[in-house]
Amino acid sequence: MRVLLLGGTGEARALAAALHPDVEVISSLAGRVPDPALPVGQVRIGGFGGVAGLTGWLREHGITAVVDATHPFAAIITAHAAAACAETGLPHLVLARPAWPAGRAVVVRSDTEAAKIVAAQGFSRIFLTTGRSGTAAFRDVDAWFLIRAVTAPDPGTLPVNHQLLLSRGPYEYEAELALLREFKIDALVTKNSGGAMTEAKIKAAETADVPIVMVDRPALPPGVRTVSTVASAVAWLSGLSPK
């Protein structure tokens, strides 16, 4: 068995560790984050060149199964993997961490919709945690933004009034609560990434009675098989192994 593991997440690293060294795993990272946390085993960095490129790569490298453990908002590679596996007939699994409950959050479909709500509600000090690619929609919103991201967004995508906070989780509840109070935040805008590494901001906002605007996850390609835990992904792969 030779598995392509589309990764870049904590779940992907945990799965690679759980399979090593019994299963040959090639972990693929997009290469957008400098100095990424690397999994054990083989690693490739960079894109595949669309569905056709990925299909050819799978055949060329003798891959026998694909596990997509990318970020829940990595919709393009998820769609490409589903199409390539359908083309090649390879077993395909999506390891999708559970989403956060919406709770009192206003759930929207896109960064653009989130920006419209923020502007309409007249929030003035916003904690924006939608990632480096999510800032452009807020560029013309008349408010001050505390923008947290792993890597700095392109300068042309940033709102006029902002402060950048470059950091990588996990984050602790007490620190998140203190941050909201220190910067007098009156709205949190985030994506429903799920997982424990960044959930503390949700709980802190609820405690501080800070309104939350949450961008919902993109839909998965129709018909894909999904699991929500590393253990379930290991069991699925074990079921593919020759007995």
pLDDT the model gives residue 243: 45
The reply to whether 132 and 47 lie within a common domain is: no
The reply to whether 80 and 118 lie within a common domain is: no
DSSP state of 35: S
The reply to whether 123 and 207 lie within a common domain is: yes
Report whether pLDDT(90) > 60: yes
pLDDT the model gives residue 242: 60
- pLDDT tens for 30-74 read 877 777 889 999 999 999 999 999 999 999 999 999 999 999 999
**The residue type at 82:** A
Report whether pLDDT(15) > 60: yes
DSSP letter string, 105-131: PEEESSHHHHHHHHHHHT--EEEEES-
- pTM for the model stands at 0.91
Report whether pLDDT(7) > 80: yes
Average pLDDT over residues 2-15: 95
The reply to whether 117 and 208 lie within a common domain is: yes
pLDDT the model gives residue 35: 76
- pLDDT tens for 186-240 read 999 999 999 999 999 999 999 999 999 999 999 999 999 999 999 999 999 999 9
The reply to whether 40 and 140 lie within a common domain is: no
CA distances from 223 to 86, 94, 95, 219, 233 (A): 10, 11, 14, 11, 17
Distant-in-sequence, close-in-space partners of 242: CB < 8 Å, separation ≥ 6: none
The reply to whether 210 and 222 lie within a common domain is: no
DSSP state of 42: E
The reply to whether 122 and 184 lie within a common domain is: yes
The reply to whether 86 and 158 lie within a common domain is: no
The reply to whether 134 and 170 lie within a common domain is: yes
- pLDDT tens for 66-89 read 999 999 999 999 999 999 999 999
Domain CATH number, residue 200 = 3.40.50.720
Alpha carbons 94 and 222: distance in angstroms, whole number: 12
- pLDDT tens for 124-180 read 999 999 998 899 999 999 999 999 999 999 999 999 999 999 998 899 999 999 999
The reply to whether 207 and 131 lie within a common domain is: yes
pLDDT the model gives residue 22: 93
The reply to whether 232 and 193 lie within a common domain is: no
* Containing structural domain, residue 9: 2-97+218-240
State the total domains in the chain.
2
Owner of token pair 């429903």: 192
The reply to whether 179 and 83 lie within a common domain is: no
pLDDT the model gives residue 229: 96
Asked whether the beta carbons of 78 and 62 are under 8 A apart, the reply is: no
Weakest-pLDDT range from 14-18, 220-224, 239-243: 239-243
Burial environment of residue 61 by CB neighbours within 10 A (0 to 12, 13 to 18, 19 or more): exposed
Position 91 confidence tier, pLDDT thresholds 50, 70, 90: very high
